[in-house]
Structure formats: structure tokens, C-alpha cells
Amino acid sequence: MKDFGSEVPMVNTDELAIAIAKGENIEAVALAQKLLDLGLDLETMVEAGPTKALESLSNKCNTDEFCLLEILLAGRAMMDVMEQVVSRHADFSAMVEAQNRPSFVLGTIKGDMHDLGKNVVAMMLKLEGYHVIDLGKDVEPAKFIQVAVKEQASFIGVSSLITTTIPAIKQVRALATQAGLDHIKVLAGGAVLRQAEPHHLNVDFVAQNVFHLLRYLRGECGEKP
């Protein structure tokens, strides 16, 4: 990750992550726009703001130090930043009409009720031109496969913020293979999964963040999706 402070010395980028985590949506949108106006690139802004805030929230989720209202307000602030700032400044050179792109089945795995990160990914994939089928949260492994077959999907994206869901994540590829769907790429992402190797999760790719996922889909990660 870049040194945010050296990139934009006039603004403390931590303020954006704090505003999002506190659910201060109006302030978060203003700070995000200010950072871009001062020359911070879009990817770094997202990493310094929404991604960093999501990491702090996921830490609370794993230690039971959170309340539902806090998560809901943070989610609103995060999506306001994504919809009101990021979507307006995103320059997706690879973007094409949605019908020309493969379908992407996305969801948070069974046992996890968190969907902030998943929602950010869904929005960015749609901006990129993918047809996204969002299954929501607490999704059974078999559900991913059922919908992938129905939608003739090329990708399955599995999100999680909880380590105890890893056995369920591993089931997705196994079920896809049983169904004769080896051609479908199974991708995983989420704060607690970043240190895992793909073979440990029985998936094709582990995204460090949403931009890492987009680079993979564009064939820019040294692997062909």
C-alpha cells in the first residue's frame, strides 16, 4: 500500500476512514472528493478510505466489539462514497456493454452476515460492465453453484470476513467440480482471506482488494482469468 501521507501532505487520509467507520456519510463524501481534487489517485483513495474502514470494522466483527447500528451507518457512509464519488471518477477503459461481459455470481458465504465489502465489489463489477448476480449474505455453497448453472456464469465470487467460514469456502470449488463446472473461476476475497494462498481455500484466485480483482479479470495479474 502506498504512503498516503506523502502523496497528499495537506490532508490526513485517516480522516476519511474514520468518518466512514463512524457512519458520518456527508463528511466522508466531502473528504473523499477533496482527496481526489488534491490529486490523490482513485485507487489509493479507496484503499485509504473504504478499504481501511472495512478492515477496522472487520476487526471489531471478529472480536464481537460492534453493534448492528454501527455497521449499518458505516455501510451507508461507505456506499455513499462509492456511489457519489468513486463511480463518478472511475475511468474504466476496459468497460463495455454489460451483455458483452460474462455473468458474475457474487455472495457472502454461509456463516457470515457481513456484506459491506461484497457490496463494494458488486458495484465496481457493474461499473466494469459485468452482469452481477448478487446472492446477498449467509449463502450456502450449493447456492453459488445452482445460480451459476442457471445464469451460465463464468465467475463465482465468495466473500468472507470470518475465518470460521473457510471450510464452507472450500466446498464451492468441490461442488463446482462435481457439477462439471471446472471452467468456472472461483474467486475469494475479504480481510481475513488475504493472507491465504488460493490452494488453501480451494479457489482460483484470492483478491487483496477490489482493484486487485479487477486487474485479475483484465488479465493484468500474470494469470489469465
CATH classification at residue 169: 3.40.50.280
Residue closest to 211 by CA, chosen among 33, 45, 17: 45
CATH classification at residue 72: 1.10.1240.10
Pair (172, 110) in one structural domain? yes
Number of domains in the chain: 2
pLDDT at 154: 94
pLDDT at 199: 95
**Sequence-ordered list of residues with C-beta below 8 angstroms from that of 194, at least 6 positions apart, any chain:** 206, 208
Angle between helices 68-81 and 52-63 (to 10 degrees): 170
Q: DSSP letters of 65-129?
A: ---HHHHHHHHHHHHHHIIIIIHHH---TT---GGGS-EEEEEEBTT----HHHHHHHHHHHHHT
pLDDT at 41: 87
Cell numbers that stand for 76 in this block: 451507508
Residue closest to 25 by CA, chosen among 99, 84, 65, 69: 84
Q: Does the pLDDT at position 192 exceed 50?
A: yes
pLDDT at 51: 81
* pLDDT band (50, 70, 90) for residue 66: low
Pair (40, 59) in one structural domain? yes
Mean pLDDT to the nearest integer, 178-182? 93
Give the ranges where 3-67 is alpha helix by DSSP (H).
4-7, 14-21, 25-37, 42-46, 52-63
Domain boundary among 96, 111, 137: 96
Q: Cα(75)–Cα(66) distance, rounded to whole angstroms?
A: 13
Q: Does the pLDDT at position 61 exceed 70?
A: no
Mean pLDDT to the nearest integer, 89-105? 63
| C-alpha 163 chain-centroid distance | 17
- Stretch among 47-51, 87-91, 201-205 having the lowest mean pLDDT: 87-91
Tell me the average pLDDT of the chain: 84
Query: Distance of CA 199 to CAs 69, 125, 143, Å?
Result: 36, 24, 22
Q: What is the strand order of the sheet 103-108 is part of?
A: 131-134, 103-108, 155-159, 185-189, 205-207
Domain boundary among 37, 61, 96: 96
Pair (70, 116) in one structural domain? no
Pair (63, 141) in one structural domain? no
Has residue 209 been placed in a domain?
Answer: yes
Has residue 117 been placed in a domain?
Answer: yes
Pair (86, 57) in one structural domain? yes
Pair (34, 123) in one structural domain? no
Domain boundary among 74, 96, 118: 96
More reliable by pLDDT, 72 or 157: 157
Has residue 47 been placed in a domain?
Answer: yes
Angle between helices 52-63 and 116-128 (to 10 degrees): 150
Q: Cα(13)–Cα(127) distance, rounded to whole angstroms?
A: 25
Has residue 2 been placed in a domain?
Answer: no
* pLDDT band (50, 70, 90) for residue 4: very low
* Winning range, highest mean pLDDT, from 58-62, 129-133, 152-156, 221-225: 152-156
Has residue 46 been placed in a domain?
Answer: yes
Q: Does the pLDDT at position 112 exceed 50?
A: yes
Pair (117, 166) in one structural domain? yes
Whether this prediction's pTM lies above 0.85 is answered by no
Has residue 127 been placed in a domain?
Answer: yes
Domain that holds residue 108: 99-217
- The answer to whether 145 and 175 have CB atoms below 8 angstroms apart is yes
More reliable by pLDDT, 51 or 14: 14
Has residue 1 been placed in a domain?
Answer: no
Has residue 7 been placed in a domain?
Answer: no
